[in-house]
Chains A and B, each alone.
Chain A
Amino acid sequence: MVKLPGLKKFANMAFSGLAISSAPAIVKGMLVEYLKNVTLEEIIYEVENNRVLWVRIDPEMQQKTINMLSRLGNLDWLNADFVIESIKDEHPAMASLFLGWEEARVWLEKQASILKQETA
């Protein structure tokens, strides 16, 4: 039997890579769908009042999101830049708002951190 040293390591890396490569697409889809019910004024209001978006989500949806994100492993890629990049095609005005408004960008980064904390 031929032994390939490090084959298991490469296989794990491959599976990990496949999961990670598909994870952003999944999260992107979730963000786009969620923001379809949110207006620009509501986002501005949330930013100005520094409100946490996570607690306003339905608990069932929260649990599903946590279950899904916990399977994706490392979520370091989930940050404000990722969210802006994900929503810029379907919600260009909102992406533009986050790009040009520093407070909104900070708020978005904070929301991503809260989400990662909840998942961890």
Chain B
Amino acid sequence: MAVIKDVNTPRAKEVTDVTTEAKKGGIKKTEAELWEEKRDAAAAKRQFEEEVALAEKAKQPPAVVEPAFQVKGSVNLGEFNPQAEAERLRQEAAQAAENKDKKITGLEEQRDHYRDKAADERLTNVEQKFSAQIDRLVNEIKAGQSDTGSLGKQIKELQEVATGVLGLQSPIAGTAPVVSAELQLQMLKMELDDKKAQREFERQLKADERSWQMQLRDMESRQNIELAKLSQSKERTELVATIPQQIGGAIAQGIMHGGGEMPGLGSKPNPRHAQQKHQYAFDVEEGKAATGQCPECGSPIGVGPTTTKAICSQCGTEIIVRRQKASAESPSEEDNRFGQHG
């Protein structure tokens, strides 16, 4: 069918209503799209209602909050102490453990008792069996009814009983006794302890020796000090002992001073003078002084102008001074010499 169009009117001026077109059956919506539109509409409505409620709430004054209804009072449910409870539980556990230990101990004692009793019974049985076999063996030997096989068998049985039941070693075997590892370890330990004790003893011995030497030196040093002190004390005592002697000498001198005479001041005779062997003479010019030497000791001697007998001040030798008249020639100093007279 041909459509007549106004060619002078632009096509954009045509208004197209989509809804109308859809209703017209131009575009057909799916079910999902339909429900999505409804959901959007409901959400928008709910948001709108919330906004309205908030606006109204903001217009109203704040409401006074009244306290809630309260019920006061207390109920005593009793005291609960967890520590005391734990302690009580622990004590009960300890008591239970103790009871258990006691019970175990009693059972072990009973077990040991029965074991010992069983061992005794077994030993008695073995002894009886052993004695019965020995008796039978003796009887067989006496009766001569035994043969080598029977005797060997009996001996073998005895050996089995001895080794198996009683735990004895056969002396016939000749082997070294089997020492258990524990026993060897114990022996080694004992040996080690013995060596350790020996070393400790030697160390102690050396320490004692050293201490003794030090004590000896200390004693020697003390002895030297004491000897030095003793020597000093002795010297001091001697010095003190001489003081009275000096005082006594001073007292004696004082007493003698009271007598008015000093000892040893030219009053005693010269011993040399008494025992003079030779007589000496000296020729000196009359009225002259002279000097010379003692013919005995060589000490200087002075002769005065009128001296008739010169005396040596050292040895006391007397020299006769012979005066000679002055000659024409005056004698020189060398002529005034002492000469021996006959």
Contact = CB atoms under 8 A, between A and B. Distances in A.
Contacts of A41: 289
Contact of A10 (B251, B260, B265, B305): B251
A103 to B, nearest CB: 6
**A21, A81, A96, A97 — which one has the most chain B CB atoms within 10 A of its CB?**
A96
Interface string B253-271: 1110100111011110000
Interface stretch (A30-38, A54-62, A84-92): A84-92
Given A76-B260, A82-B265, A100 B252 contact: no
A84 B266 contact: yes
B340 interface: no
A88 to B, nearest CB: 4
B309 interface: yes
A101 B260 contact: no
Given A77-B265, A97-B303, A103-B304, A13 B254 contact: yes
Given A14-B251, A17-B249, A96-B311, A74 B304 contact: no
A14 B264 CA distance: 20
A48 B305 contact: yes
A48 B304 CA distance: 10
A72 B9 CA distance: 180
B310 interface: yes
B254 A96 contact: no
A17 B307 contact: no
Interface in B304-335: 304-307, 309-314, 321
Given A16-B257, A101-B307, A96 B302 contact: yes
A104 interface: yes
B239 interface: no
Given A17-B252, A21-B250, A93-B291, A100 B266 contact: no
Contacts of B106: none
B15 interface: no
Does more than half of chain A's interface fall in helix, strand or loop, or is it mixed? helix
B255 A13 contact: yes
Interface in B261-294: 261-262, 264-267, 289, 291
A40 interface: yes
Given A40-B302, A81-B266, A92-B299, A100 B254 contact: no
A104 B138 CA distance: 156
A78 to B, nearest CB: 9
Interface centre among B251, B253, B304, B309 (most CB of A within 10 A): B304
Interface of B: 247, 249-255, 257, 260-262, 264-267, 289, 291, 299-307, 309-314, 321
Given A17-B252, A24-B265, A76-B260, 16 more contacts: A14-B250, A14-B251, A14-B254, A17-B250, A17-B255, A20-B254, A40-B289, A76-B261, A76-B262, A77-B262, A82-B262, A85-B265, A92-B313, A96-B303, A96-B311, A103-B306
Instruction: Identify the 8 closest CB pairs spanning chains A and B, nearest first.
Output: A81-B266, A101-B304, A97-B302, A17-B254, A17-B250, A95-B313, A93-B300, A77-B262
